[in-house]
Structure 1
Amino acid sequence: MIFFGHLGPTVAAVRIGEKILSKGNKKELNIDYRFVLVGAVLPDIIDKPIGMFLLRNVFHNSRLFAHSLIFAILLISIGFYRNYKYKKNGILLLGIGSLAHQVLDSMWEFPKIALWPFLGIKFPPRAEGSWVSDDFTRLISDPICYGPELIGFIIILYFFVKLIRNKGIKEFLKTGRIQ
């Protein structure tokens, strides 16, 4: 997945989870969707520059540390602690978004990356080629690529239109809340 295929399903899943968990609960969950959105693409924000540009000749892979399960677990653990101690859930939401990213990237198909460093500290090389042109070609020709992107785009568009109709853009930018 490229971009919307991570953002849309992650936001939708968190929103559904929010609705389920807050049903019958008088206390709001106070979810800042800005953190969810960043978390949904955080593994790529971290790993792509490292693996494709900065240390390409070292790793030969653009799925590295942030695509490992330990990365998401660490963020979620720190997030639970901060939520418990300070009632701040931003890092927890980053961790949830990062975990969703890994699920959407089917990281179980790459156990040496997903379970890094437990199966070895070296990342397996992965033929990257010219990923921008390859991704663009797949985006316009491969339904397995453009399908999730299209669905993710529709989900994000739905929430964006909802924010506009409810005059909630300023509120969202300030608080990350979706009304």
Structure 2
Amino acid sequence: MLLFGHIGVTLGVFFVLGIFIPRLKSIINPKYLVIGALLPDLVDKPLGRVIFSSTLANGRIIGHTLLFSLTLLLIGLYLYKKREDIRIISLTVGSFFHLMEDQMWAIPKTLFWPFMGLNFPKNYTDYTGMEYLIRMIKNSFTFSFSYSSISEVLGMGVIVILILHWLIKKFGQSKI
């Protein structure tokens, strides 16, 4: 899943749950939820695919583990208890959603790291480092029918709906 998929799907699930559990909107900060939805990739892609590409060769490492999300949760609970600050808890929820959207249960060696060994699975590709970044940029502008493209379109749709909802709420129906 890519940028719009993670953001849109996470926000969509959050706002649908908010309809059934209204208190959720007061205990989760949507801005930090979005950052959390991207956080595992923001940590792992540069580390595993660019900086340590020759040794790790994997864009799903530390940030894609339950240990990462649980550590964020513990930090978030501590900060909430000390300062009633929900931002880290919101990051945690977004990070956990990311793991579900990436279907990390299919890669238990990564999801349950380090309990199933200290090494991460390697992705064998013929490109690493900067070439990986160039391919990612190129692939972002090339449409192909896949699971990722479906989630990207779905995510974009959710984002458009939420923006329209926000505009209508902010400016009223008669001004749009």
TM-score, reference length from structure 1: 0.82
Structure 2 SS opposite 1:36: helix
Please report the RMSD computed on the Cα atoms of aligned residues, expressed in angstroms. Answer: 2.4
Structure 2 SS opposite 1:60: coil
Of residues 133, 150, 163, the one that matches 2:135 is 133
Alignment-derived partner of residue 174 in structure 2: none
Structure 1 stretches lacking a partner, 5+ long: 169-179
Q: Is the 8 A contact 1:63 1:113 kept in 2?
A: yes
The amino acid across from 2:123 in the alignment is R
Deviations 1:153-174 (A, max 9, x none): 0001111122222238xxxxxx
Of residues 84, 97, 111, the one that matches 2:94 is 97
After TM superposition, the structure 1 = structure 2 runs for residues 164-179 of structure 1, keeping only pairs within 5 Å, are 164-167=167-170
Equivalent-residue separation in structure 1 for 2:20 and 2:142 (angstroms): 33
Structure 2 stretches lacking a partner, 5+ long: 172-176
Equivalent-residue separation in structure 2 for 1:62 and 1:140 (angstroms): 21
The amino acid across from 1:162 in the alignment is H
Q: Is the 8 A contact 2:28 2:89 kept in 1?
A: no
Q: Is the 8 A contact 1:138 1:145 kept in 2?
A: no
Residue 159 (str. 1) matches residue 167 (str. 2):
no
The amino acid across from 2:37 in the alignment is A
Change (3 A) 1:142 1:82: same
Aligned residues: 165
Residue 68 (str. 1) matches residue 70 (str. 2):
no
The amino acid across from 2:160 in the alignment is L
Equivalent-residue separation in structure 2 for 1:159 and 1:150 (angstroms): 14
The amino acid across from 1:2 in the alignment is L
Alignment-derived partner of residue 49 in structure 1: 46
Equivalent-residue separation in structure 1 for 2:169 and 2:20 (angstroms): 22
